[in-house]
C-alpha cells in the first residue's frame, strides 16, 4: 500500500502522535508508519500490534527523517517543546547550528524534497507576533514560527491548533488543597472567559478526518476544541464528579506569575492570549470526531487519577 501510505506520525507514541496513529489505523484508509527514537518502548509495541509499521527516527537526524517519510502520502507532525524547553530547537535555525538540524526546518525540507501530498501540522499561534511583542509564550511562539515557515514554502498542509488538553487537569492543573481547609482550588488566570479544552486522545480522529478530506482541508487552518468552559464551570464539574469542594481561585495573571511555579509567566501569558478568544472550532471538531468527549465525560472516566484528592 505504498501508493497511499500515510507515514511517519512524528511522534507516534507521544500523546498526539499516538492518538493520530491509532485513529488512522482504525479508519483503515491509510497504512501507518510510526516514527520513534525507541522502537522497543511499550507504546511503540502497542502501535505495532495495532498494525503500524514502527520505524526508528529522530527529528535531529536528517537521514532518519528522510527514511521515515520516504514514499509517504502524508504526515502528521508535532514538535515537542517540552523535550528541551527551547523555542530555537523547534524553529528555523540554519543547518549546522550547533550540531543538530532544527526540527521545523528539517521536516519542511524533507517534506518538500520528497513531495509529500498532505501534512497535518499541529502548531499553535505565534503570540509574540500577534501581540506586537507584548506577550511571549515560547511554547506557542516557536510552533507559530514553524507554521508560518511551512506556509511560506508552500508545503501542502492543514495546520491545527489543539486546545489545552483535559489531561492537564490530571497533573499540572490538578486542584490543590487549601491550607488547613476542607476545599480545593483551581488556579488558572482566565477571569470569566471560557477556556477551550479537549482530550488529546480525541485529537486523532479529527486529524484522521482531515487526511480523509484533503479537498476540504488542504491549505486551511483550524483550531480544535471539544468545548469551552469558564474556570468556575471546570471547578463545578470537578466538584460534582469527585464529590469534593473545588473552587475557582479567581487568580489574576499578575498573581499567577508570582506563584513561583516553573513556567508561570508562560502560562499567565498563554491565558492572557486565550482571553482574546483565538479561533477554536467546536463545531468542526465534533463534525470530524462525533465521539469527542466533554470535560465531564473525561473526568468521570479518569476519576482514578484523583486518588488522594
Ligand atoms: N499539553 C497541552 O495542553 C498541549 C496543547 C496543545 C499543544 N501541545 C503541544 O504538544 C507538544 C507535545 O506533544 P505531545 O503532548 O504528544 O507530547 P508527548 O506525549 O510528550 O510526546 C512527545 C513525543 O515527542 C517525541 N520526540 C521528542 N523529541 C523527538 C525527536 N528529537 N525525534 C523524534 N521524536 C521526538 C517523543 O518520541 P519518542 O520518545 O518515542 O522518540 C514523544 O513520543 C508540545 O510541543 C506542546 O506544546 C500541548
Q: pLDDT, tens digit, for every residue of 12-71?
A: 568 999 999 999 999 999 999 999 999 999 999 999 999 999 999 988 888 999 999 999
Residue 30's Cβ-side half-sphere holds a number of Cα atoms within 13 Å equal to 28
User: Which among 60, 80, 82 is the best mutation to test ligand 1's pocket, defined by most ligand atoms within 8 Å of the CB?
Assistant: 80
Under the banding of pLDDT at 50, 70 and 90, the label for residue 85 is: low
Under the banding of pLDDT at 50, 70 and 90, the label for residue 260 is: confident
Under the banding of pLDDT at 50, 70 and 90, the label for residue 84 is: low
Topology at the third CATH level for domain 163-199+224-278+293-309: UDP-galactose 4-epimerase; domain 1 (3.90.25)
For atom 44 of ligand 1, the residue with the nearest CA is 80
Angle at 181 between CA 175 and CA 183, to 5 degrees: 35
Say if residue 193's pLDDT is above 80.
Answer: yes
Confirm or reject: Cβ of 81 under 6 Å from ligand 1.
yes
- Distance separating alpha carbons of residues 39 and 13, to the nearest angstrom: 10
Can you give the pLDDT at residue 83? 65
Question: Which atom of ligand 1 approaches the CA of 165 most closely?
Answer: 3
- In the sheet that holds 246-248, the strands lie side by side as 176-177, 184-186, 246-248
| 149-174 mean pLDDT | 95
pTM of structure:
0.93
Say if residue 267's pLDDT is above 60.
Answer: yes
Average pLDDT score, the chain: 90
Can you give the pLDDT at residue 104? 80
Distance 86 CA to ligand 1 centre (A): 13
What residue segments make up the domains of the chain, in order of their start? 1-162, 163-199+224-278+293-309
Written out in words, the top-level CATH class of the domain with range 1-162 is alpha beta
Can you give the pLDDT at residue 59? 85
Amino acid at each position: 500500500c505504498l501508493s497511499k501510505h500515510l507515514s511517519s506520525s512524528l511522534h507516534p507514541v507521544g500523546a498526539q502522535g499516538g492518538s493520530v496513529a491509532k485513529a488512522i489505523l482504525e479508519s483503515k484508509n491509510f497504512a501507518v508508519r510510526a516514527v520513534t527514537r525507541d522502537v522497543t518502548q511499550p507504546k511503540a509495541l502497542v502501535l505495532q500490534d495495532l498494525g503500524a509499521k514502527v520505524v526508528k527516527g529522530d527529528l535531529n537526524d536528517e537521514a532518519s527523517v528522510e527514511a521515515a517519510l520516504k514514499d509517504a502520502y502524508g504526515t502528521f507532525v508535532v514538535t515537542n517543546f517540552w523535550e528541551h524547553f527551547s523555542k530555537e530547537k523547534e524553529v528555523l535555525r540554519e543547518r549546522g547550528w550547533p550540531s543538530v538540524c532544527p526540527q521545523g526546518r528539517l521536516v519542511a525540507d524533507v517534506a518538500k524534497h520528497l513531495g509529500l501530498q498532505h501534512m497535518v501540522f499541529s502548531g499553535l499561534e505565534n503570540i509574540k507576533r500577534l501581540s506586537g511583542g507584548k506577550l511571549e509564550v515560547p511554547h506557542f511562539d516557536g510552533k507559530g514560527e514553524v507554521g508560518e515557515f511551512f506556509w511560506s514554502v508552500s508545503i501542502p498542509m492543514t495546520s491545527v491548533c489543539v486546545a489545552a488538553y483535559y489531561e492537564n487537569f490530571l497533573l499540572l492543573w490538578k486542584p490543590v488543597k487549601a491550607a488547613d481547609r476542607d476545599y480545593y482550588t483551581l488556579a488558572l488566570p482566565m477571569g470569566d472567559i471560557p477556556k477551550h479544552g479537549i482530550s488529546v486522545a480525541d485529537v486523532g480522529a479529527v486529524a484522521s478526518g482531515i487526511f480523509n478530506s484533503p479537498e476540504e482541508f488542504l491549505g486551511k487552518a483550524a483550531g480544535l476544541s471539544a468545548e469551552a468552559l469558564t474556570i468556575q464551570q471546570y471547578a463545578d464539574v470537578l466538584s460534582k464528579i469527585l464529590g469534593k469542594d473545588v473552587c475557582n481561585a479567581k487568580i489574576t495573571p499578575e498573581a499567577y506569575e508570582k506563584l513561583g511555579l516553573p513556567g508561570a509567566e508562560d502560562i499567565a501569558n498563554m491565558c492572557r492570549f486565550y482571553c482574546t478568544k483565538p479561533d477554536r472550532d467546536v463545531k468542526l471538531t465534533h463534525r470530524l470526531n462525533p465521539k469527542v468527549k466533554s470535560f465531564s465525560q473525561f473526568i468521570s472516566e479518569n476519576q482514578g487519577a484523583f486518588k488522594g484528592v
